[in-house]
Amino acid sequence: MAISFTLNGTLRTIHVPPTRRFADILRDDLGLTGTKISCGIGRCGACTVLQNGLPVNACLLMAYQVDGSSILTIEGLAEDGQEQEAAADRVQHGDAPAKNVGCREPVGECAETHGDAAGEGADRHGLSPDRTVSQALHPLQRAFLEAGGFQCGYCTPGMILAAKALLDASPNPTQAQIREALSGNLCRCTGYTGIFRAIELVVNSGHAKPHTAIDMEGEDVH
């Protein structure tokens, strides 16, 4: 089956079985491994992506359900649309505490590949330690770095996208609204305090506004 959809601002056409999981399409067919798979049954939120601006579990989304829609993954969230996927590789690993935020490698392999030393990941991905990691990041990504909204980083991509959907719909949410919006995203590391603090940081900074996708030429993937 041929399906066409907009992925991070780019029109894509792919040929896949209609019931293939979209999480597998993203990770295995398109190489966008920022979308994590954990429970696989839609209960943890690690695989959250935005479909037409709404959070969905990519592990429950079938290929035919994506046809004609617009999808945003963590790789497409960087502010500079020309560097959406480059930012996922360079910036997400550019500082030791941030190396797993939206990382394209499984947790554990990232540390093994990029090292624990502050700046080692930066050197490998084109950012020197004295350059700010936050320049190419979305305000929510910067806030998660600044407020300590993650530890292992495995839930972080889905958590950030769920938060983005909330702030796009309600730029000044109450604490109750924040908690409700993230109720489908589980974190076993942080205790959620840093996550809530990160979202409140974005709200208080006035950066809670919709992300505008950049139109790009279509690409046909077989």
Shared-domain flag, residues 102 and 189: yes
Q: Which residues pair with 162 in a beta bridge?
A: none
**Listed residue (70, 76, 213) closest to 141, CA to CA:** 76
Q: Which of 120, 78, 123 minimizes the C-alpha distance to 102?
A: 78
Q: Is 89 in contact with 104 (CB distance < 8 Å)?
A: yes
Handedness of CA 155, 171, 5, 81 (dihedral sign): negative
Q: What is the CATH number of the domain that holds 38?
A: 3.10.20.30
User: Given this model, what pLDDT does residue 91 score?
Assistant: 37
Q: Which domain holds residue 133?
A: 81-205
User: Looking at the domain assignment, is residue 102 inside a domain?
Assistant: yes
Residues 47 and 98 in one domain: no
Question: What amino acid occupies position 7?
Answer: L
> Residues 88, 45: one domain?
no
Does one domain contain both 121 and 52? no
> Whole-model pTM?
0.72
Secondary structure class of 88 (helix, strand, coil): helix
For residues 31 and 105, the answer to whether their CB atoms sit within 8 Å is: no
Are residues 96 and 175 located together in one domain of the fold? Answer: yes
Asked if 44 contacts 56 with a C-beta cutoff of 8 angstroms, the reply is no
Q: Please indicate, yes or no, whether residues 44 and 85 belong to a single structural domain of this protein.
A: no
CATH number (domain holding residue 145): 1.10.150.120
pLDDT confidence of residue 136: 82
Picking from 76, 109, 134, the residue at the C-terminal end of a domain is 76
Q: What is the pLDDT of residue 104?
A: 41
Q: What pLDDT, on the 0 to 100 scale, is given for residue 209?
A: 61
The verdict on 86 and 185 lying in the same domain is: yes
Q: How many CA atoms lie within 13 A of 161 on its CB side?
A: 32
Give which of 35, 27, 24, 32 is closest to 62, Cα–Cα.
24
Same domain, 87 and 183: yes
3-state class (DSSP) for residue 21: strand
Task: Please check whether residues 57 and 91 belong to one and the same domain.
Answer: no
The domain boundary, picked from 57, 76, 95, lies at 76
Q: Does 213 reside within a domain?
A: no
Q: Report in angstroms the alpha-carbon separations of 25 from 7, 31, 91, 142.
A: 12, 8, 24, 28
In a domain, 214, yes or no: no
The whole-angstrom separation of Cα 119 and Cα 93 is 9
45 found inside a domain: yes
Q: Parallel, antiparallel, or unpaired: how do β-strands 70-72 and 2-7 relate?
A: parallel
Q: Are residues 48 and 151 in the same domain?
A: no
- Cα atoms in the 13 Å half-sphere on the side-chain side of 160: 31
Same domain, 94 and 200: yes
Would you say residue 53 lies in a domain?
A: yes
Bridge partners (DSSP) listed for residue 13? 4, 220
Q: How do the pLDDT tens digits run along the chain, 222 residues long?
A: 999 999 999 999 999 999 999 999 999 999 999 999 999 999 999 999 999 999 999 999 999 999 999 999 999 998 543 344 444 344 344 433 333 344 444 444 444 433 433 333 333 333 333 344 445 899 999 999 999 999 999 999 999 999 999 999 999 999 999 999 999 999 999 889 999 999 999 999 887 764 443 333 344 444
Question: Same structural domain for residues 115 and 60?
Answer: no
Q: How many domains does the chain have?
A: 2
